[in-house]
Amino acid sequence: MPTAKVSFEKKNVLVTGGAGFIGSHLCEHLLKTGARVICVDNFITSQESNIDRLLQNTDFEFIRHDINVPFDPEAFPELTRFQIKFQGLQEIYHFACPTSPKKFDQYRMQTLYANSIGIKNVLDLAVRYTAKVLHASTSVVYGSRPVDGHAFREEEIGTVDLLSPRACYDEGKRFAESVCSTYQQVHGLDVRIARIFRTYGPRMPLYDGQMIPDFITNALEGKDLEIYGDETFKTSLLFVSDAVDGMIKMMQAPTNMSPVNLGSDLDVVLTDVARRIIEMTGSSSKIIFKPALLFMTELGLPDLTKAKEKLDWLPLVTLDNGLKHTIDYTIANKSLLGLRKM
């Protein structure tokens, strides 16, 4: 590995899954801070509309590619202006993995590959360019919500059924963390692991079982708000801008203290969230309950001690403000969002 780093006017940043919900917000933030961003996505559970506003930015380039297939950025003529052969990649944010509650069964193999082949391809790129990596992991590595209700600390081993119907995601994410750790030990790679808890906000896919965006669109249209579970369903909800802020702070930190929990440590009951959305939209909608989805389950809460002490990070956006931002976005983009309804 080189003994000295060359300083460039603008860093080259690769974001896999960059057209997804969180990834697109991250791309937008990186551009605002002066980075040049390469967004790689295959649109399995994302959409082009998430990055439409970024496509005219000369510091942004979208490449439609499946990260489960090896990716050589130097082979794409549209990336010539990024001078990757000379400058390489300075940072990689890895988000690429299907996250669709309603289409979970359909994308099991892609999920399995993303958490094994995909992460290998990303880390091989990082080794090639000596790039710093942030891997977007998830709270599911801890397993189900604990009976005693304690908040998960990063030191907890967690318990996941490696033979369950959703193991390709749950155990897959655990394996992906193992891959990151092994590359760090063998290659000296700087890989930072963010364990992201349930996140919401503008650009979440509609009619996919994510509930919060569907609550809002259904409330605006006077339709029933559907909860996939019963009236006891609890969760934590982190607004997307807080998630992005946490990951940026993780990447910029002078030392790697990962894994780090990024989430809200406030427990909310989904029926209360649904009622609040009905109030905020002035809707006459009712709340109904449907059978639980395999991919949408109750999860535990994060212990945020490490994020607060090491990164000076904590969630800043209140639930009411986050919901208002998401409602305003939905109203402003209602005609576009309506085109996505299945």
Decide if 116 contacts 175 (C-beta within 8 A).
Answer: yes
Q: Which residues are catalytic?
A: 169
> Residue 227 and residue 117: Cα distance in Å, rounded?
34
**Nearest-CA neighbor of 89 among 120, 56, 123, 55?**
123
**Nearest-CA neighbor of 13 among 252, 199, 239, 238?**
252
Residue 176 tokens, joined? 């992906």
Full DSSP string of 256-287: ----EEES----EEHHHHHHHHHHHHT----E
Q: Sheet of 91-94: strands edge to edge?
A: 60-64, 36-41, 12-16, 91-94, 132-138, 191-196, 260-262
Contacts of 169 (CB under 8 A, 6+ apart): 97, 104, 111, 115, 140, 295
Task: Compute the half-sphere exposure of residue 241: CA atoms within 13 Å on the CB side of its CA.
Answer: 10
> Residue 276 and residue 58: Cα distance in Å, rounded?
41
